[in-house]
Amino acid sequence: MKDYLPETASQTAGPYVHIGLAPDAAGFHIFEKNFGPTLVNSHTPGERIAIEGRVFDGSGTPVRDVLIELWQANADGRYNHPADQQEGKSLDADFRGWGRACSNFDSGVWRFDTIKPGQAVGRDGRLMAPHVNLWIVARGINIGLNTRMYFSDEQEANAKDPVLNLIEWEVRRQTLIARKETRGNETVYHFDIYLQGEKETVFFDV
């Protein structure tokens, strides 16, 4: 008979998640290059946008120690990853395509400064609506949660998106749609994430 090791006990991500994954946000300036929430520089092509929101627990209380990772395609609809071999779409050396943000410890607001992604082709060969991918981790979450954020001003593309259409209840699809806001010269997409409750965000088993 084979001997099996006992299962290791699980543990939540806090309370030191920021020190380990985003030390700069916790006031520890230990890395020369931090993986921050700004994905662009002055040379990055594409429409400049900001994405911001808050994460709420089941009681409707903002979670103030959340860490969120974002990855997305560039303005041409291509990911900065070797697996993305879409023809006719080039990589952008001035766009990282990946970022990490922490919520504000007082307000609970998190934010990314990026560009609006183009449409990428999915694994099944069908064109997806512009979207960003999000991974959420915080105290009380044993395994990081994966979700997507789509754009409210892309209604035609959203209606054809193969992933959104996998969600049977149309009202649940709305939990993945960010609201567009114009603040002076800035375009902001507001996207709140609900971990539990009546407004619970759709999460994916990735």
Asked if 115 and 44 count as a contact pair (C-beta separation under 8 A), the reply is yes
Question: Of the spans 19-28, 42-51, 57-66, which averages the highest pLDDT?
Answer: 42-51
pTM here is 0.86
Q: What is the reported pLDDT for 55? A: 97
Residue 161, burial from CB neighbour count under 10 angstroms (0-12, 13-18, 19+): buried
pLDDT tens, 172-186?
A: 999 999 999 999 999
Q: Of 7 and 158, which is predicted with more confidence?
A: 158
Closest C-alpha among 68, 79, 85 to residue 145: 68
Asked if 26 and 33 count as a contact pair (C-beta separation under 8 A), the reply is no
Q: Of 48 and 82, which is predicted with more confidence?
A: 48
Q: What is the reported pLDDT for 158? A: 98
Q: What is the mean pLDDT of the chain?
A: 88
Specify the pairing of strand 177-183 against strand 98-102. unpaired
Both tokens of 101, joined, read: 């943000």
- Cα dihedral 33→102→50→135 (10° resolution): 100
Closest C-alpha among 160, 166, 178, 152 to residue 205: 166
What distance separates the 2 farthest-apart alpha carbons in the chain?
A: 70
Backbone φ, ψ for residue 32 (5° rounding) = -65, -40
Q: For residues 157 and 38, what is the distance between their CA atoms, to the nearest angstrom?
A: 26
Q: What is the reported pLDDT for 88? A: 84
Q: Residue 98 belongs to what H/E stretch?
A: strand 98-102
Q: For residues 114 and 187, what is the distance between their CA atoms, to the nearest angstrom?
A: 11
Asked if 65 and 15 count as a contact pair (C-beta separation under 8 A), the reply is yes
Closest C-alpha among 53, 13, 20 to residue 35: 20
User: In this model, does residue 9 exceed pLDDT 90?
Assistant: no
Q: What is the reported pLDDT for 112? A: 98
